[in-house]
Amino acid sequence: MLNVYFLKLDFNISDRDLLILEKTISPQRLKYAKQYHKKQDFIRSLLSSVLFYYALNKNGIDKKDIIIEKSLRGKPFLKNSKNIDFNITHSGHWVACAIDVNDVGIDIEYMKDINLTDFEEILTTKEISYINNKQENFYQIWTLKESYIKALGTGIYHSLSSFSIEPYSNHYAKVFQDGSCEKQWHFYNFNLDEKHSCSICSQAKITKEHFNFLEYKSFYQLAILSC
């Protein structure tokens, strides 16, 4: 039951609409969003929370039943729905939320210009060879690695150089730990547009049929009704 929801952001949201959207999320998540002082950062955080509530509602979880706790390593989970995992990401002009009965991770990165040599210490030899000084390949590997550690829930406790991602075919990849393929994990990578790379990691096979792309104006109305 993997479902991934994508929303392209509109940074020209009126103050009136922002106030209405603020009322659809919990006080705790609103307080977190308001820690961002730049309006675009606030909108990303706010709408990622609105999308989270919307996604859970679409998967049969009522807002009143949502209690979020964290594991010892900091991964959020639903206290009253332990058979459901979720993961949220936002970057640039996109936010996304993945819902699954398996462990799931998702990562979006805005593909800004970078010096690739600055990241070689956290990449394996095979990954560096695959990247081949191509920025798009770097973001493909980077989001795949991030989605994996987010699915594991290990975060900063997991060294990015301790495992290797090997893309194959279109969109798909494998992960290797100590030279052995971790066959229980499935990956899917694609570009949301020319400036945003996205990767999903799950224990279930991932296809485009799991993706739900939302347009802001219609999402705004649906979010108010569902939240």
**Domain of 172?**
3-226
- Of the pLDDT bands very low, low, confident and very high (cuts 50, 70, 90), residue 227 is low
The answer, as to whether pTM is greater than 0.75, is: yes
From residue 72, how far is each of 76, 148, 153, 155, 157 by CA, in Å?
Answer: 10, 18, 10, 11, 11
| Residue 202 DSSP label | E
Pairing of strands 3-8, 211-214: parallel
Tokens 């979006």 sit on residue: 108
Report whether pLDDT(84) > 90: yes
Q: What's the rounded Cα separation, in Å, for the pair 32 and 13?
A: 19
Task: Indicate the number of domains in the chain.
Answer: 1
Those residues with Cβ within 8 angstroms of residue 164's Cβ, 6 or more apart along the chain or in another chain: 124, 126, 127, 175, 176
- Of the pLDDT bands very low, low, confident and very high (cuts 50, 70, 90), residue 211 is very high
Those residues with Cβ within 8 angstroms of residue 116's Cβ, 6 or more apart along the chain or in another chain: 131, 133, 135, 138
Report whether pLDDT(70) > 90: no
Average pLDDT over residues 164-188: 95
Those residues with Cβ within 8 angstroms of residue 225's Cβ, 6 or more apart along the chain or in another chain: none
CATH code of the domain covering residue 33: 3.90.470.20
- Of the pLDDT bands very low, low, confident and very high (cuts 50, 70, 90), residue 73 is confident
Q: What's the rounded Cα separation, in Å, for the pair 3 and 18?
A: 26
Average pLDDT over residues 194-215: 97
Please report the pLDDT score of residue 63 as a whole number: 84
DSSP H or E run through 211: strand 211-214
- Alpha helices by DSSP H, listed for 68-185, are 125-131, 135-152
Report whether pLDDT(156) > 70: no
Q: How many residues does the chain have?
A: 227
Q: Look up residue 154 and give its two tokens.
A: 């290990």
